[in-house]
């Protein structure tokens, strides 16, 4: 709606600038154009917006997963040719995280010699543990969630942008676990 209002104001200003010189000699024509130009431009804007929103091709989740699977296949074959290539491992781990295969991401990073010294790999490893912890929390498996979230903190580099978020979710998971324990004891 905001865009529509902005378009109306801009088209009105354009009409005023274009029609103002002819208003003195042809007032009826100028008045008609003052209304006609903004109305037509707004109608054109709305038509293009509607047509564009109806006919914009979008990828379904299955198409996105197919694309990711193709990339995984490609990166896995590249990794066979260069088994200690940090960039390929990082890309492959990111793809595994994207399709929620966190254990594969974790194992591929931990399989790299010297991953403890690589900032990017530690960041991706921490991301995988963090994501796995959130998944476990969503499934209400709070002990596993705490375990993975603590691993995420352990492996996170000191400048990781999401360290505060991990601590926040550890606190929330502990609160949810306590709440669940209280509810379980009330049933007994």
pTM over 0.85: no
CATH numbers and ranges of domains, the chain: 2-55 (no CATH), 61-183 (1.25.40.10)
Of 51, 19, 49, residue with least CA distance to 35: 19
Contact 92, 76 (CB under 8 A): yes
Across the chain, what does the average pLDDT equal? Answer: 84
Encoding tokens for residue 31?
């008045």
Mean pLDDT of 116-137: 95
The terminus-to-terminus CA distance of the chain in angstroms comes to 55
Question: pLDDT digit string (tens) for 29-47?
Answer: 766 766 677 676 677 667 6
Tokens encoding 184 = 């379980």
Q: What span, in angstroms and rounded, lies between the C-alpha atoms of 82 and 99?
A: 23
Residue 4: the pLDDT is: 62
CA 8 – CA 6 distance, rounded (Å):
5
**pLDDT (0 to 100) of residue 25:** 78
In this prediction, residues 168-178 reach a mean pLDDT of 94
Model pLDDT for residues 43-77, shown as the tens digit of each residue: 766 766 666 555 545 556 677 788 889 999 999 99
Convert the pLDDT of each residue in 151-165 to its tens digit.
Answer: 999 999 999 999 999
């Amino acid at each position: 709606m905001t865009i529509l209002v902005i378009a109306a104001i801009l088209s009105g200003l354009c009409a005023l600038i274009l029609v103002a010189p002819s208003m003195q000699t042809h007032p009826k024509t100028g008045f008609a154009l003052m209304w006609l130009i903004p109305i037509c431009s707004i109608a054109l804007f709305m038509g293009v917006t509607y047509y564009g929103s109806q006919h914009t091709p979008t990828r379904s989740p299955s198409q996105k997963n197919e694309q990711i699977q193709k990339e995984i296949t490609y990166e896995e074959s590249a990794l066979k040719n260069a088994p200690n290539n940090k960039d390929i491992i990082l890309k492959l781990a990111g793809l595994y995280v994207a399709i929620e295969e966190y254990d594969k991401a974790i194992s591929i990073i931990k399989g790299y010699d010297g991953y403890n010294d690589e900032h990017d790999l530690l960041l991706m490893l921490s991301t995988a543990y963090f994501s796995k912890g959130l998944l476990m929390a969503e499934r209400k498996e709070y002990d596993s969630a705490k375990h993975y979230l603590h691993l995420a903190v352990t492996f996170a580099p000191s400048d990781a942008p999401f360290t505060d978020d991990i601590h926040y979710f550890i606190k929330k998971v502990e609160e949810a676990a306590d709440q669940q324990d209280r509810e379980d004891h009330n049933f007994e």
